[in-house]
Every structure is written in C-alpha cells, then in structure tokens.
Amino acid sequence: MNTKNNKPGKDMPAGQQAKNLDETMMFRVKTEEAASIAEILHGVYQALEEKGYQPINQIVGYLLSGDPAYITSHLNARNLIRKLDRDELLEELVKHYLATK
C-alpha cells in the first residue's frame, strides 16, 4: 500500500486531489484531536478518582516528570495518556485555559 502524508488543501489542484484519492492519506483534523485529548483526560481523571487518588495532583505530576507511574493502570489509563505527547497535551491545556478566560 502506498502511504503518503498528504494534506489536501486549497492550493492543491482538483485533478491532483482526485488522483490522490486512490492512495492512502493521513488527515490531521484539529477538532478531532482536541476531542481525543479531552476524552483521554476525562478517562484518566475518572480512573484516578476511582482508585482514590487526587486526579489533578497525579496528572500534574505526570506532566512535570513524564513518569507514567503517576497514572494508574486502572481502566487502561496509563496506556491512554502515553498515547499523547506531553508537549501537545500541555499546549492544548494552555490553549483551552486561555480560550475560556
């Protein structure tokens, strides 16, 4: 299979777009990504809470140190949070905080 990191955009000719439809393409959809971060954070929060931890303290500990030991393996939370890059997670948190202030 031919896999290309193509980003269809307005500067790409229509013919070119049609041709590329035969190939596997990777789309980077920002809103879905943000939703996924939110879902993961909520899932991790719930897992930590169910295990009796202070979720905010544990998530902050993870963000500071990068050590997955902060996050319980309950409900697959540890594996979920490791799917996100910490810098992207922090960026999203800061963006969200500033947008709601």
User: Which residues are at the interface with another protein (CB under 8 A)?
Assistant: 52-54, 57-58, 60-61, 64-70, 73, 76, 78-79, 82
Min dist CB 85 to another protein, Å, is 13
* Ranges of H-type helices in the chain: 14-20, 30-50, 55-65, 77-82, 86-100
Sequence letter at residue 93: L
Q: For tokens 């190939």, name the residue.
A: 23
Backbone conformation region of residue 29, classed left if phi is above 0, alpha if psi is from -120 to 50, else beta: beta
Min dist CB 12 to another protein, Å, is 36
Min dist CB 79 to another protein, Å, is 4
Comparison of 35 and 64: residue with beta carbon closer to another protein: 64
